[in-house]
């Protein structure tokens, strides 16, 4: 007889009884607050079409590269998990169940349990013996009308959800959702049109120019980007997102930029030239954000597709994007020299190199008006990492120079758990400051309230 898990209502709160009591009170204030999700990767089609989820494995495993990577490391081939092809979903779930012990202590394991328990109401311990039982229950739940994407959107209490979209997307789905009362907004994500080393870069630029009927000049290219940004703004977008390995920016003279553009388009630019072009385009994105008001978010410091053979066979987002050291201070200086204090400009910096929190991000955000410290991201949106983040930035920059939590996920069922995790972690941090006599309880309460709604809404202009 599989034993039901019993979720500890005080989970993730600090062990010291006095601090825990304070943390519990702070958490309870915000536990039920609506979810503000200004950056994520849920496919808009899910909500627009509102079809039932295909099956539990497809929803919970196959497309979650946080989960597939650990199974891959344990020797499970990605194709057996349905990555890049079809696989029997029950067998896929069975593979996770068989390796479930590997997820103990991980964020992914925690979210999986939360999704099963809090969303699907399944309390049995995951494991080989319960694999079929749990699979059947999950499948049954997902067939119920209460478990369609929109029904869950309502049940999760999502106030606003941002998707991440290709600049050429027509965004009709977002319009449709708006018409039916769901605030699901697009995000402009132009990386593949800006980075000469992106796959199919030249074809992408050609499509961009064709779609906007712009000439193949640097000015035409900029105008095309501006036009598509405008299209996004008209369809509800509030931000433009940029994923870069290195947050380098360069303020080039127009002639130099034009020359580089011609080179990258002709495929003749060398590595140095391609890097300079990329850096100048990040600068240009800031210029456009200052002009059109889109919040600029930068997710920096990830070397994408580390294992080329896996990338070539299975594509991007298959578990081997690896963080690298990041230098925001020198890299962003040209951008910040020019736009760092520009009126209304919001620049949110996300890092996966924890060393930048106290050394770079908190000091930058403590001076530049545009700079907000992005919430812990990717591998770092987990309880301990969130605690380290808060400890690293608060003494320098306080609580009001942060972005508020973003879930950054495609794993729809985990969205409540991710926001709940952040709320518990922030309550725990605040409680320690109260217990140590550093802030008053009333102050902590006001901050806890701020962090889950007003703050991210201000930062993301929602």
Residues 328-367 interacting with a copy of itself (rule: CB under 8 A): 329-330, 333, 336-337, 340-341, 352-355, 358-360, 362-367
The angle subtended at Cα 62 by Cα 41 and Cα 123, nearest 5°, is 95
Site for a copy of itself in 153-182 (CB under 8 A): none
Q: Which of 33, 168, 216, 322 binds a copy of itself (CB under 8 A)?
A: 322
403: three-class secondary structure by DSSP:
coil
Nearer to a copy of itself, 69 or 141 (CB): 69
- Least distance in Å: CB of 445 to a copy of itself? 11
Q: Inter-axis angle of helices 383-397 and 415-435, to 10 degrees? A: 50
Under a CB-based contact definition with an 8 Å cutoff, are residues 339 and 364 in contact? no
**Alpha-carbon span 150 to 165, nearest angstrom:** 20
- Least distance in Å: CB of 297 to a copy of itself? 18
- State yes or no: residue 106 binds a copy of itself (CB under 8 A): yes
Nearer to a copy of itself, 134 or 385 (CB): 385
**Alpha-carbon span 310 to 262, nearest angstrom:** 32
- Number of residues engaging a copy of itself in binding (CB under 8 A): 91
Residue 436: count of CB within 10 angstroms of its CB: 9
**Among the residue ranges 144-152, 176-184, 222-230, 315-323, the one whose residues contact a copy of itself (CB under 8 A):** 315-323
The residue count of the chain comes to 462
Under a CB-based contact definition with an 8 Å cutoff, are residues 123 and 4 in contact? yes
Nearer to a copy of itself, 298 or 365 (CB): 365
- Least distance in Å: CB of 21 to a copy of itself? 11
Under a CB-based contact definition with an 8 Å cutoff, are residues 108 and 379 in contact? no
- State yes or no: residue 323 binds a copy of itself (CB under 8 A): yes
Nearer to a copy of itself, 207 or 304 (CB): 304
- State yes or no: residue 1 binds a copy of itself (CB under 8 A): no
- Least distance in Å: CB of 174 to a copy of itself? 32
Phi/psi region, residue 315 (left: phi>0; alpha: psi -120 to 50; beta: rest), is left
Q: Which of 69, 150, 457, 458 binds a copy of itself (CB under 8 A)?
A: 69
- State yes or no: residue 394 binds a copy of itself (CB under 8 A): yes
Site for a copy of itself in 250-309 (CB under 8 A): 303, 306-309
Show the tokens assigned to 382.
């987990």
Nearest partner of 239 among 348, 337, 370, 375, judged by Cα: 348
**Alpha-carbon span 326 to 298, nearest angstrom:** 12
**Alpha-carbon span 45 to 423, nearest angstrom:** 29
Site for a copy of itself in 195-254 (CB under 8 A): none
**Among the residue ranges 98-106, 145-153, 161-169, 213-221, the one whose residues contact a copy of itself (CB under 8 A):** 98-106
Q: Which of 74, 140, 143, 206 binds a copy of itself (CB under 8 A)?
A: 74
- State yes or no: residue 327 binds a copy of itself (CB under 8 A): yes
Q: Inter-axis angle of helices 65-73 and 107-114, to 10 degrees? A: 120
- Least distance in Å: CB of 190 to a copy of itself? 25
**Alpha-carbon span 72 to 65, nearest angstrom:** 10
**Alpha-carbon span 329 to 360, nearest angstrom:** 6
* DSSP state for residue 67 in the 8-state scheme: H
Q: Which of 10, 159, 256, 445 binds a copy of itself (CB under 8 A)?
A: 10
- Torsion on CA atoms 299, 302, 304, 308, rounded to nearest 10: 180
- State yes or no: residue 449 binds a copy of itself (CB under 8 A): no
- Least distance in Å: CB of 218 to a copy of itself? 26
- State yes or no: residue 28 binds a copy of itself (CB under 8 A): no
Nearer to a copy of itself, 321 or 407 (CB): 321
Q: Which of 27, 53, 103, 156 binds a copy of itself (CB under 8 A)?
A: 103
- Least distance in Å: CB of 340 to a copy of itself? 6
Please report the sign of the dihedral spanned by the C-alpha atoms of residue 436, residue 442, residue 443, residue 448: positive
SS3 content of the chain, % helix, strand, coil (to 5): 55, 10, 35
- State yes or no: residue 316 binds a copy of itself (CB under 8 A): no
- Least distance in Å: CB of 392 to a copy of itself? 8
* DSSP state for residue 148 in the 8-state scheme: S
- Least distance in Å: CB of 183 to a copy of itself? 28
**Among the residue ranges 204-212, 219-227, 232-240, 318-326, the one whose residues contact a copy of itself (CB under 8 A):** 318-326
Using alpha carbons, list the distances in angstroms from residue 8 to 13, 27, 117, 329.
Answer: 10, 14, 12, 42
- Least distance in Å: CB of 59 to a copy of itself? 21
Alpha helical stretches, state H, 78-200: 89-98, 107-114, 131-143, 149-156, 172-179, 191-194
**Among the residue ranges 134-142, 235-243, 247-255, 321-329, the one whose residues contact a copy of itself (CB under 8 A):** 321-329
């Amino acid at each position: 007889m599989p034993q039901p898990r019993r979720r500890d209502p005080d989970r993730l709160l600090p062990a010291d009884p006095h601090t825990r009591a304070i943390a519990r009170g702070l958490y309870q204030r915000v536990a039920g607050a609506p979810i503000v999700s200004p950056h994520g990767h849920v496919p808009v089609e899910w909500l627009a079409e509102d079809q039932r989820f295909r099956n539990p494995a497809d929803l919970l495993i196959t497309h979650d590269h946080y989960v597939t990577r650990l199974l891959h490391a344990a020797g499970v081939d990605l194709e057996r998990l349905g990555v890049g092809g079809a696989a029997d979903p029950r067998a896929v779930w069975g593979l996770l169940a068989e390796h479930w012990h590997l997820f103990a202590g991980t964020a992914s394991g925690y979210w999986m349990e939360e999704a099963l328990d809090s969303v699907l109401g399944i309390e049995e311990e995951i494991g080989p013996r319960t694999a079929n039982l749990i699979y059947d229950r999950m499948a049954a739940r997902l067939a119920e009308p209460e478990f369609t994407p929109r029904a869950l959107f309502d049940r999760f209490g999502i106030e606003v959800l941002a998707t991440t979209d290709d600049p050429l997307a027509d965004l009709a789905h977002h319009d449709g959702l708006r018409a039916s009362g769901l605030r699901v907004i697009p995000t402009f994500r132009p990386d593949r049109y800006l980075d000469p080393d992106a796959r199919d870069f030249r074809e992408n630029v050609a499509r961009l120019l064709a779609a906007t009927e712009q000439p193949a000049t640097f000015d035409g290219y900029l105008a095309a980007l501006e036009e598509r940004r405008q299209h996004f703004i008209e369809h509800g977008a509030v931000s433009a997102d940029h994923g870069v390995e290195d947050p380098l920016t360069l303020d080039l003279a127009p002639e130099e930029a034009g020359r580089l553009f011609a080179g990258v388009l002709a495929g003749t630019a060398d590595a140095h030239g391609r890097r300079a072009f990329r850096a100048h385009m990040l600068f240009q994105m800031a210029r456009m954000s200052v002009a059109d008001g889109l919040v600029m978010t930068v997710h920096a410091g990830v070397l994408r597709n580390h294992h080329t053979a896996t990338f070539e066979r299975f594509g991007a987002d298959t578990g081997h994007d690896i963080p690298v050291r990041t230098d925001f201070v020198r890299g962003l200086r040209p951008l910040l020299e020019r736009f760092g204090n520009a009126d209304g400009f919001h620049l949110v910096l996300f890092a996966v190199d924890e060393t930048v929190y106290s050394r770079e991000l908190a000091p930058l955000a403590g001076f530049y008006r545009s700079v907000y410290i992005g919430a812990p991201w990717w591998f770092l949106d987990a309880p301990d990492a969130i605690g380290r983040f808060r400890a690293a930035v608060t003494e320098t920059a306080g609580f009001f120079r942060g972005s508020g939590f973003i879930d950054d996920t495609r794993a729809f069922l985990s969205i409540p758990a991710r926001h709940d995790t952040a709320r518990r972690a922030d309550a725990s941090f605040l409680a320690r400051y109260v217990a140590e006599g550093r802030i008053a309880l009333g102050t902590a309460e006001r901050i806890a309230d701020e962090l889950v709604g007003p703050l991210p809404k201000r930062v993301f202009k929602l």
